[in-house]
Amino acid sequence: MTHEATISGDELQLLLNLPYPELEVTYPMTGIQLFRATQVREGVQLHVLASPTSFDDKTDSDLWRRERPTWNDLIECSLASGATTYTNLPDFKGALNGYSRTGRVYYAPDTNILYDGFLTTTQLIDPNKVILSDTVKEEIRAHLNYKHGPHQIEELKHSTPYNHQLWDMLLNQRMKQSRKAAALALREYEALSSHALLVEAAAQTTSDKERNDDVFTRTISFYKRIHGVYPVVLTCDAAMVDYCKIENLDYFLFQLPKTIESGLVTHRCFMRLIQTLANVMGFLKVGKVIILGEYQGRRGPDELEVIFPNGDYDWFIKHLKISRNLLKNTKAYDNN
């Protein structure tokens, strides 16, 4: 018998306090081991268990090929949470010193940079110095509304060895590409948009990535000429560089990490990593607890469903109530 609870991302901290010396993080539908986490005084010690070959899975299902977790998913979620970063980040920090001496410098991230959560995670760039093109917004929007139908749920049940009943929670809910767009790119866009310069696209966005890259750079170039600013395009896509050169735009090409190093992360970084993985993969197992990042009846982007075995549930609910009462009393005190 299991029990369920609905929590916020911040309340994931309580999972770290479960009475276990370490927690293993896995994908519950296939059993892929991702991380082992040990809480220490300075934060959380992460030991990476997965590698690119961990995700090799021979299948005849095209749907499962699209929906199954990949090494790239793990890299993106680790970037978005701050558990890893671009390999040439030191070079960018050095370049920032030069850019800062340029009058009216602004930074224009492409869609890939938004997926990686670079700007909010590193906080190296003032959001007021960010240009957001309509192109990136429309590229994100185009991926937000792909959903699972009944036949797809049945196919996924036949494609995975464990926890088949969990797939029912994704009926009429987002598919992986839509979960990823919402949890990574849209979240980053919304965090920046209230401060950034929002720029209308020079042409309509399409499903053609190369055309969208062209529209993106023409948009930034037009804004540069009209407003006399000095934009720097931020990208991790080598193909984007060619379009920047055509439009005579400065750019910085980030290099994606090929591996994820084991090491110490902060508690907040670990919680964001767990939440992001659950949102993107749909399901995540931390110790004995299964976390759902997408499910029927979900009321907001920060909400998670957690499924507990008996003993852990009793312990967790007790401490969850204590935590919520403390927060409620603190807010009441601040209002007075």
What is the residue range of 301's domain?
2-43+262-335
DSSP secondary structure, 64-132, as one string: HHHHS--HHHHHHHHHHHTSS--TTHHHHHHHHHHHHTSTTEEEEE-HHHHHTTHHHHH--S-GGGBEE
Task: Locate 148 and state its tokens.
Answer: 């699972």
**Residue 131, pLDDT score:** 98
For the chain, state the CA radius of gyration: 21
**Residue 194, pLDDT score:** 96
Higher pLDDT, 132 or 317: 132
Query: Percent of the chain scored above 70 by pLDDT?
Result: 98
Mean pLDDT value of segment 308-327? 87
239 & 287 share domain? no
d(CA 149, CA 14): 34
Q: Is the pLDDT of residue 258 over 70?
A: yes
244 & 270 share domain? no
**Residue 3, pLDDT score:** 92
Mean pLDDT value of segment 158-163? 96
Mean pLDDT value of segment 318-330? 88
Q: Is the pLDDT of residue 179 over 70?
A: yes
184 & 308 share domain? no
The domain boundary residue, chosen from 208, 230, 253: 253
**Residue 307, pLDDT score:** 95
Task: Locate 4 and state its tokens.
Answer: 């369920």
Residue 237 burial (10 A CB sphere; 0-12, 13-18, 19+): middle
Residue 153, C-beta contacts closer than 8 angstroms, at least 6 positions apart: 167, 168, 170, 171
Largest CA distance in the chain: 65
**Which band of pLDDT confidence, cut at 50, 70 and 90, is reported for residue 146?**
very high
DSSP secondary structure, 277-295, as one string: HHHHHSEEEETTEEEESS-
Is 168 within the bounds of a domain? no
239 & 279 share domain? no
105 & 217 share domain? yes
**Residues 205 and 231: beta-carbon distance below 8 Å:** no
106 & 27 share domain? no
284 & 138 share domain? no
d(CA 43, CA 121): 17
**Residue 193, pLDDT score:** 97
102 & 202 share domain? yes
Structural domains counted in the chain: 2
Mean pLDDT value of segment 253-276? 96
Tens digit of pLDDT for each residue in 24-62? 999 999 999 999 999 998 999 999 999 999 998 889 999
Is 209 within the bounds of a domain? yes
Other CB atoms within 10 Å distance of the CB of residue 34: 26
Tens digit of pLDDT for each residue in 54-95? 998 889 999 999 999 999 999 999 999 999 999 999 999 999
196 & 124 share domain? yes
Tens digit of pLDDT for each residue in 216-248? 999 999 999 999 999 999 999 999 999 999 999
In single-letter form, the type of residue at position 53 comes to T
30 & 136 share domain? no
**Residue 57, pLDDT score:** 85
d(CA 197, CA 194): 9
Q: pTM of this prediction? A: 0.95
**Which band of pLDDT confidence, cut at 50, 70 and 90, is reported for residue 264?**
very high
17 & 112 share domain? no
**Residue 234, pLDDT score:** 98
Mean pLDDT value of segment 103-119? 96
DSSP category for residue 174: B
The domain boundary residue, chosen from 253, 283, 302: 253
Is 120 within the bounds of a domain? yes
**Which CATH number belongs to the domain containing residue 93 in this structure?**
3.40.50.1010
Mean pLDDT value of segment 139-164? 97
303 & 194 share domain? no
**Residue 333, pLDDT score:** 61
CA distances from 302 to 187, 265, 307 (A): 10, 21, 17
Is 288 within the bounds of a domain? yes
**Which band of pLDDT confidence, cut at 50, 70 and 90, is reported for residue 328?**
confident
Q: What phi and psi, each to the nearest 5 degrees, are found at residue 280?
A: -75, -45
Q: Is the pLDDT of residue 336 over 80?
A: no
What is the chain's mean pLDDT, rounded? 94
The domain boundary residue, chosen from 195, 227, 253: 253
Is 330 within the bounds of a domain? yes
Is 97 within the bounds of a domain? yes
Is 270 within the bounds of a domain? yes
Mean pLDDT value of segment 128-142? 97
Is 285 within the bounds of a domain? yes
